[in-house]
Amino acid sequence: MQVILSVSRRFRPADFAGREKRMIEDPRRLGDPGTDAFQVDKYPFYLLNRLVSRYNAIIESRLRAIGLDIPYWRVLMVLGQKSPRSVGQLAETAVIPFSTMTRIVQRMTAAGLILSATHENDSRVSEISLSPEGRRVLAEARRITAPIYAQVIEGFSIEQFDALTSALERIHDNLAELLPSRNGENGHRPVKRPKIRG
């Protein structure tokens, strides 16, 4: 009898109701497009797209004042961190398709913003670096975009900012296994839903 009473106390209907309520309130469930509980404003990629759209609209207007667009600015910033880089490295780091980056490099070279030289050990590889004019324009771009960044991080503690960047990196890493493979196969694998604990 004691065993039966113990079990009945452990699995009361109210416990199930409480667990179901916690499942519904779990923000991961609200952001899951595969559930009826889905809410657009809880979907991470909606929030990311909305954020990037607003950021681009703001920064593009500032860059235009000094004759740059966002792709040019990305290239200058990437080369400002490390130079020289190959076109492939530039494309990957600036998150721009390789074919598009090739055309951007050609235009920026013609504009005198970057320099292109053949790799000393591989004639098939071009090494891209900043020209003196490119460094000057980069310095100006940094000056006018710095206040935007200051506004972006307004109110964030060090811990909150670190948690934000770590979370974004984790999402990026989680998506890696779903990328199409090099042999042309779609990387569509059954996705394991996170266990939602009550």
Which fold, 44-178? Arc Repressor Mutant, subunit A (1.10.10)
Q: Is the pTM value of this prediction over 0.75?
A: no
Stretch 109-118: mean pLDDT: 92
Where do the domains of the chain lie?
10-42, 44-178
Question: pLDDT tens, 70-110?
Answer: 999 999 999 999 989 999 999 999 999 999 999 999 999 99
Report the pLDDT value the prediction gives residue 196, as an integer from 0 to 100: 46
Question: pLDDT tens, 30-67?
Answer: 888 888 888 898 999 999 999 999 999 999 999 999 99
Nearest Cα to Cα of residue 113 among 140, 136, 96, 89? 136
Where does the chain have alpha helices with state H? 2-10, 13-25, 27-30, 44-64, 70-81, 87-94, 98-110, 132-152, 158-175
Report the pLDDT value the prediction gives residue 73, as an integer from 0 to 100: 95
Sequence-distant (≥ 6) Cβ neighbours of residue 22 within 8 angstroms:
196, 198
